[in-house]
């Protein structure tokens, strides 16, 4: 594992692009964390975050372990390929309320949509600006690791809070973008 880069809060905003999903991750103080790009319709999910807006310097990424696996895991690595952690969707538990496991150096946490009602509405309606909250808690202590809140907007925008200093901002950003990419599945 690499040393932890902790940022207590940041925003993930999706940008419009025809063939890719693009995301901008910005710390609450305005410092850019990364610029992500995900190719649509790829068989094996991979999202690369870049240090610069021109997308010339890769900073970190997450990659699916398997091709087209609904309950598959995703490994998050830094620019040199060192592990930052992982996340995986718990497919069976996600049928009514999306559930993920987030793992990093020294912790394992389980995250779930906060509201069962919103989770069901999101599944059976096509309301593009429906707000939701997603909370991840430490499995050992029950304390909050991070939370992701989707703002009510036409384009996807997420406010991310990371109270636990063990959670690397790169892992948290990958998880937040992964939520956006995977919640529709």
List pLDDT tens digits, range 78-110.
999 999 999 998 877 766 778 899 999 999 999
Mean pLDDT, to the nearest integer, of 42-55? 82
Query: What is the model's pLDDT at position 115?
Result: 65
Pair 75, 47: CB distance under 8 Å: no
Range with lowest mean pLDDT among 9-13, 21-25, 72-76, 150-154: 150-154
Closest CA to 98 of 88, 85, 84, 108: 88
* pLDDT confidence band for 1 (50 / 70 / 90): very low
- Residue 53 burial by CB count (10 A; 0-12/13-18/19+): exposed, middle or buried? exposed
Query: What is the model's pLDDT at position 185?
Result: 45
Exposed e or buried b for every residue in 145-159, given b needs 16+ CB within 10 A?
Answer: bbbbbbeeeeebbbb
Residue 164: what are its φ and ψ, rounded to 5°?
Answer: -90, 120
Measured distance CA(105)–CA(80) in Å, rounded:
17
DSSP 42: -
Closest CA to 40 of 62, 56, 24, 17: 17
pTM over 0.85: yes
| pLDDT value at 111 more than 60 | yes
Query: What is the model's pLDDT at position 180?
Result: 78
Mean pLDDT, to the nearest integer, of 166-174? 97
Query: What is the model's pLDDT at position 28?
Result: 93
Query: What is the model's pLDDT at position 178?
Result: 87
């Amino acid at each position: 594992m690499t040393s932890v880069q902790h940022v207590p809060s940041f925003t993930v905003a999706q940008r419009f692009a025809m063939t890719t999903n693009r995301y901008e991750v910005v710390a609450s103080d305005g410092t850019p964390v990364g610029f992500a790009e995900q190719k649509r319709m790829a068989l094996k999910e991979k999202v690369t975050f870049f240090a610069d807006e021109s997308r010339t310097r890769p900073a970190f990424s997450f990659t699916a372990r398997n091709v087209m696996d609904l309950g598959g895991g995703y490994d998050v690595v830094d620019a040199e390929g060192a592990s930052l952690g992982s996340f995986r969707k718990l497919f069976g538990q996600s049928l009514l309320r999306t559930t993920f496991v987030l793992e990093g150096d020294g912790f394992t946490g389980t995250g779930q949509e906060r509201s069962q009602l919103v989770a069901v509405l999101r599944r059976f309606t096509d309301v593009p600006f429906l707000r939701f909250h997603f909370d991840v808690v430490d499995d050992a202590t029950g304390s909050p690791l991070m939370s992701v809140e989707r703002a009510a907007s036409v384009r996807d925008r997420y406010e991310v809070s990371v109270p636990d200093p063990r959670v690397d901002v790169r892992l948290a950003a990958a998880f937040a973008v992964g939520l956006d990419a995977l919640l529709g599945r």
